[in-house]
Structure 1
């Protein structure tokens, strides 16, 4: 009993440490006072003011677009890399390939941003592409380091996958492409969704790498917020952060419901297959 109380206390402290600051941020987004640390009553005027802040809204829309595009490309490339690591055995160059895939996980973002900047400058001088720094360079940079997270998630899911299901489909005459789209892809879809959400969050949150590879007309939301914090946090930033928290929470809930539904369907299919075999 004493041990369970200690565990519950540690869990409560951990959750409070993580979520109390977010709750305070949401509360202070409705603060009447311009000073974010002084409560002046309830008001929604900062949300109205946010709607007229074109710089912040443009940066937020740019960050959302880059995050969605980079997360989609990261899922496509990361899934292929994860399958190569999990299913192709010990091929020649596997160690080098695995090291290149996982390098962005441990590489400091300053080094990654600087190396990508030098790469883009060299490519522009050699072939004229990419022309300057902007949305394209930021997206490529974000795909480069978020793809590693997707590859690790998909690889871990494929390693724990029962290959006898795919082998049974092959014995029944199914082709590899059909096996992948009908059997493998639905089973690993929770890992793919999780990888997409993680890549989206990492891209939306990135500041260091984007600062290296962005141009004057491609300022992302973290860059705008960071530059604003130097002059003092405004309640409009709290309002924008609250909206982002609401959007992210909604996305996580929707993804959780979809994954739970997919898991129930998978269990029903397994039970029906077991009963038919029995």
Structure 2
């Protein structure tokens, strides 16, 4: 015969479980409050900020699809809103079948702060500076490592982008040629080539069955593109398109952005 369990003991057991949970939750809450009230060291915060930016840069390099030469990469990608990023040296070009190497100094400053409220945490002023070497192989595998800042050579001038760009007045010049060239497409292409000489420029011109004339002028490598259409009534329009199709590996700057846009 099983021993009889007192209903009072059963009730006490049932009540003890939620009580223990409440006590445990209270302990956790106290720990969270105590930790949140602790003063914060500005140097530690700045160092964390620098490392976060350093990791973000290599992640950006891994995700980029249009890397060219080291100087252009340094000029276009080595910056941050949360820390100072200074490219110091750069060498190599993926376009020449070589990897690229960039050495950069990353620094951050944390200002002293406190809300002034009772028991509010205080953050001391602090700063951090680290230097890193970034490498991108020909297969575009990116890596980075921390290196000593002392003794690093610094370039006399900041890096500048070598990526080709269309002239600022390219759209106006293309529109004028569309109006002035009433003969065949081949003549228009010749006129555009004369207006935009050089292998860095791409030029396309086609006529559609609807009597439209479509022109696309761009640069390579790069995503600059002017797309213009002359309608049968002579009006020049600038059709919209998704700029993602200008990215490397996509359609690029082509008349097909209008005549046969990707789906």
Bigger Rg over Cα: 2
Q: What TM-score comes out, normalization by structure 1 length? A: 0.24
Q: Pick 1 or 2: higher relative contact order, CA cutoff 8 A, min separation 6.
A: 1
Relative to its length, the structure with more strand (as a share) is 2
Relative to its length, the structure with more helix (as a share) is 1
Q: What TM-score comes out, normalization by structure 2 length? A: 0.25
